[in-house]
Amino acid sequence: QVQLQESGPGLVKPSQTLSVTCTVSGGSISSGGFYWNWIRQLPGKGLEWIGYVSSSGNTYYSPSLRSRASISMDTSANQFSLRLRSVTAADTAVYFCAREEIRSETAERPYPWFDPWGQGTLVAVSS
Amino acid sequence: SSELTQDPAVSVALGQTVRMTCQGDSLRSYYASWYQQKPGQAPVLVLYGRNKRPSGMPDRFSGLSFGNTASLTITGVQAEDEADYYCNSRDTSGNHVVFGGGTKLTV
């Protein structure tokens, strides 16, 4: 059973770079067909997609965060990481990692879903 | 299009049936998935594809999809179903992930 675990600094100063890592256990992140995602949740708000790295190494980002976000994978450590540059207090959030899979069946639309999720790590941006 | 729209809140009496909806152009191209999130916890997958439930998810959760709208129905609502519910899919390009704004279910 695949499990995901985030780790992060807890506190980052404004204008610095936020770095969080997701460690995957129970399966390889280079196994084909999965997308390894970062999602955040600002205090009291909904889920906001940040971006993903596919098992083949391709990356896509939310248009609103593309200029500051970078997602990479370390297959030797079975981890993937998010770096978010030039942070402000508005980046204070719980950061979740999650595995996405997409399947399709004959004559049906594709269906994506996220499972499993990590438990989330709170990163506060403050001086 | 990159938006999924959900009603902000809905309330239901214990044991009754509630339906939540999710609308967006991309739902004509992709099925939605649904997540339950309780305070202080990570989201949990409730439903995906054409009415598929993950192992262990009660069968009181069911889904429908038609046109640009997906719905999640809880039949015989239990107190533990009180939570925020989010829908999710890919956008019309297929490259980006989209989430609805969430529906707060009060029992």
Write down the pLDDT at residue A107. 78
Chain B residues in contact with A119 by the CB 8 A cut-off are 41-42
Give the Cα-Cα-Cα angle A45, B39, A99 (nearest 5 degrees).
Answer: 75
- As a whole number of angstroms, the distance between CA A59 and CA B95 comes to 9
Beta strands A121-125; A93-103: pairing state: antiparallel
- As a whole number of angstroms, the distance between CA A43 and CA A30 comes to 33
- Yes or no, beta carbons of A109 and B98 under 8 Å apart: no
Write down the pLDDT at residue A123. 98
- Yes or no, beta carbons of B89 and A112 under 8 Å apart: yes
- Yes or no, beta carbons of B97 and A100 under 8 Å apart: yes
Q: Shortest CB distance from A113 goes to which of B41, B45, B100?
A: B45
User: How many A-B residue pairs are in contact by the CB < 8 A criterion?
Assistant: 79
Sheet containing A18-25, strands listed edge to edge, beginning at the edge strand earlier in sequence:
A3-7, A18-25, A79-84, A69-74
- Yes or no, beta carbons of A111 and B98 under 8 Å apart: no
Shortest Cα distance, chain B CAs vs residue A95, angstroms: 10
pLDDT in tens, chain A (127 residues): 999 999 999 999 999 999 999 999 999 999 888 999 999 999 999 999 999 999 989 999 999 999 999 999 999 999 999 999 999 999 999 999 999 999 988 878 899 999 999 999 999 999 9
Residue whose C-alpha is closest to residue B85's, from B36, B47, B51, B39: B36
Write down the pLDDT at residue B2. 59
CA A35 to chain centre: 10
Instruction: Give me the residues of chain B with pLDDT under 50, please.
Output: 1
A108 Cβ under 8 Å from any chain B Cβ: yes
Write down the pLDDT at residue B43. 98
What would you report as the CA-atom Rg of chain A, rounded to the nearest whole angstrom?
Answer: 15
Q: Shortest CB distance from A52 goes to which of B30, B88, B97?
A: B97
Write down the pLDDT at residue A31. 85
